[in-house]
Amino acid sequence: QNYLDNFWPDLKAAHELFESILQARRERENESQENNGREYPEHLPVEILEAGIKSGRYIQGTLNVNKHRAQLEAFVRLQGFGSKETG
């Protein structure tokens, strides 16, 4: 803000862009506070998820998304599967 005010006081588009970014950041911080610091709210309570994983109803793993085709290609690597270590 200071940089724009001091060096580019007449550059209206830059000031508008800065304000837009600042507002988006405030909104994201407010959403994060509402969700206790989580970017996305939980869909099911943790207790139900843990019980479902334990019973085999749900699976747990790591989501891997193709960075070149993020909207089209992703997979879940299950914990305990796919590692090169052998037991």
What is the predicted pLDDT for the residue at 87? 41
What is the predicted pLDDT for the residue at 56? 86
Mean pLDDT over residues 65-83, rounded? 84
Q: What is the 3-state secondary structure (H, E, C) of the chain?
A: CHHHHHHCCCCHHHHHHHHHHHHHHHHHHHHHHHCCCCCCCCCCCHHHHHHHHHHCCCCCEEEEECCCCCCCCEEEEECCCCCCCCC
In a domain, 17, yes or no: yes
What is the predicted pLDDT for the residue at 28? 80
In a domain, 51, yes or no: yes
Tens digit of pLDDT for each residue in 6-65?
A: 999 999 999 999 999 999 888 888 777 776 766 666 688 889 989 998 998 888 889 999
Which domain does 8 fall in, by range?
3-78
In a domain, 26, yes or no: yes
In a domain, 85, yes or no: no
**How many domains does the chain contain in total?**
1
Phi, psi of 7, rounded to the nearest 5 degrees? -105, -25
